[in-house]
Amino acid sequence: MTAVVLSKDEADDLATSLCGIVSDYPMDDPTVVLQGCADRLAADPGGPGRAGLVVILTATTPYATSGRIEAPELLVDMAAALRAARETLDADACDGGHPHADSAAWDAAEAVTVGAHLLTEEGKTSLDPDEYDEEFDLPLEAWICPKALSAIAAEGVATLEEGLQRMTHSL
Cβ(169)–Cβ(117) below 8 Å: no
pLDDT band at residue 97, thresholds of 50, 70 and 90?
Answer: confident
Model confidence pLDDT, tens digit, residues 35-47: 999 999 999 999 9
Does 101 score more than 70 pLDDT?
yes
Residue 127's pLDDT is what? 66
DSSP assignment of 119-148, as one string? Answer: TSHHHHHHTSGGG--TTSSS-HHHHH-HHH
Q: How far apart are CA 139 and CA 101, in angstroms?
A: 9
Model confidence pLDDT, tens digit, residues 109-150: 989 999 999 999 887 777 655 555 555 567 788 888 999 999
* DSSP three-state, residue 90: coil
Q: How far apart are CA 45 and CA 144, in angstroms?
A: 13
What is the average per-residue pLDDT within 82-95?
Answer: 92
- 0.85 exceeded by pTM: yes
